[in-house]
Structure 1
Amino acid sequence: MDLAKEILKEHTRRQAVKIADYVGDNNIRFKALVDTYLKGPYRITQRGAWPLSLCIERHPDLIKPHLKKILRFLHQPGIHDAVKRNTMRLLQFIEIPKSLHGEVASLCFQYLEQKNEPVAVKAFSMTVLSNIIKNEPDLKKELKIILEDQLPYASPGFTVRAKKVLKEIA
C-alpha cells in the first residue's frame, strides 16, 4: 500500500481505519506510516495523524521506537491542530517513559495555557497530564490551578474533561 496516496485519497474515518487496519501490529508498516507522517508534506502530516493515533490506540507498543521523533515534531512552528490533537490523543493510550515525563508535561501545560488552542487539544492534554501525575504527583497542584482558573470561562467540552480530571487527581 502506498501510504501517502491512501492518506491523500480522502479524509474520513473509514479511510483512517482502513490505513490502521493495514498497519495492524506490524512494526515495519508502522515505521513506514511514521516516516510518511513526518516527511509530509503538510496535508499528509495533517491527515496521517488520525490513522497514526488509531494504530497506537490498538497497539500501544508500536510507538516506543518512534516516540522521541514524534515529540520533537511537535516543537516545529506552525504544526496543524490535527497533529497536536492526534498526538495528544495517542499519548493517552501509552505509558510514557519516565525520561520523557518532563517534555510531555511541558507540552501539555503549554497547550492548556494557550487561549487559542482547540478544546480537543486541551482535553487530551489534561488526560495525558492526569496519567503522568500518577508517577509525578508534584505536578498535581499546577494542573489544578490551571484548570480551576479556566473553568469559569471554558466551553462545555473543556469543563466536562476538567471536572473529570480534577476528580481523578483529588
Structure 2
Amino acid sequence: MTTQELYNELSNVNHSREKRLYYADMVINDKDLIPKLLEIMFWADDKASPRAAWVFEFMCKDNIEAIIPYLDSFTENMHKVHLDSAVRPVAKICEFLATAYYSKNENGIQTALTKTHKERIIEVCFDYMINDEKIAPKAYSMNALFLFGKDYDWVHPELALILERDFQMQSSGFKARARHILKKIKKV
C-alpha cells in the first residue's frame, strides 16, 4: 500500500474504537505501513494527521515495541503535531513509552529508548504542560514527566512548579491529576 492509498484509507477512521482497532491491526500486520502512517501523522496541518495519530496510538497501546525502529522519527517530529485531536494521542504515546521504560517487566523499550529520545519526550511534554492544551495531553504529560523525573533530577521540581502555578486556573480533572502527581513527587 502506498502512502497515498493509506491516506485515502484513513478517511474511514473515526472516533469509534472499532475503526481505530481495525486500522491499528492492519498496521501491526503490515509493518511497512508504520513509516507511512508516521509521515501522514506529521503532515500536521492536514485533516488526516489526527486520524493517523489515533491509529498510531492504538498500535502502540497494543504493541509498544512496534515503535522501536521509528523512535528517532517519532521523537524528532512529534513537536510538529499541533491539532488538538492529534496532540492527545501523541501525548498518550509519550506516556506509553515512559511507562514501558520504567516497567518492572523487561521489554525492548528499556534498551531502545536513548537519552536523546527521553530528552525530546521531556521537552514536548513540558511544552504540552505550559501551552494552552486540553486536559488529556497535560494529564498524560504529567505522568510521563513524573516517570522521567526518576532519572532527571531537575524534572520533578519544574513539574511541581508548573502544577502548583496552574492549579487554580485549571479544570477539576487537571486538579485531581495534579494533586496525585504532587503527592508522588513529595514521596520521592
Shorter-chain-normalised TM-score: which range?
A: 0.7 to 0.9
Query: Percent identity, aligned pairs only?
Result: 25
Which of 122, 125, 133 is matched with 1:108 structurally? Answer: 125
- Contact 1:25–1:59 (CA under 8 A) maintained in structure 2: no
Deviations 1:25-49 (A, max 9, x none): 6532333322343357711112111
Aligned Cα root-mean-square deviation (Å): 2.2
Give the equivalent residue in structure 2 for 1:91.
94
Tell me, what secondary structure is at the counterpart of 1:9? coil
Tell me, what secondary structure is at the counterpart of 1:93? helix
Aligned residues: 168
Give the equivalent residue in structure 1 for 2:48.
44
Deviations 1:118-170 (A, max 9, x none): 11121111111112112213311111111011112210121122122222222
Aligned residue identity for 1:108: C
Mapping 1:84-163, distance limit 5 Å? 84-94=87-97, 95=101, 96-114=113-131, 116-163=132-179
In structure 2, C-alpha distance between the alignment counterparts of 1:17 and 1:89, rounded to whole Å: 16
In structure 2, C-alpha distance between the alignment counterparts of 1:65 and 1:39, rounded to whole Å: 20
Which of 172, 180, 186 is matched with 1:164 structurally? Answer: 180
TM-score, scaled to structure 2: 0.78
In structure 1, C-alpha distance between the alignment counterparts of 2:28 and 2:78, rounded to whole Å: 24
- Displacement over 6 Å in runs of 4+: none
Unpaired runs of at least 5, structure 2: 102-112
- Contact 1:3–1:19 (CA under 8 A) maintained in structure 2: no
TM-score, scaled to structure 1: 0.85
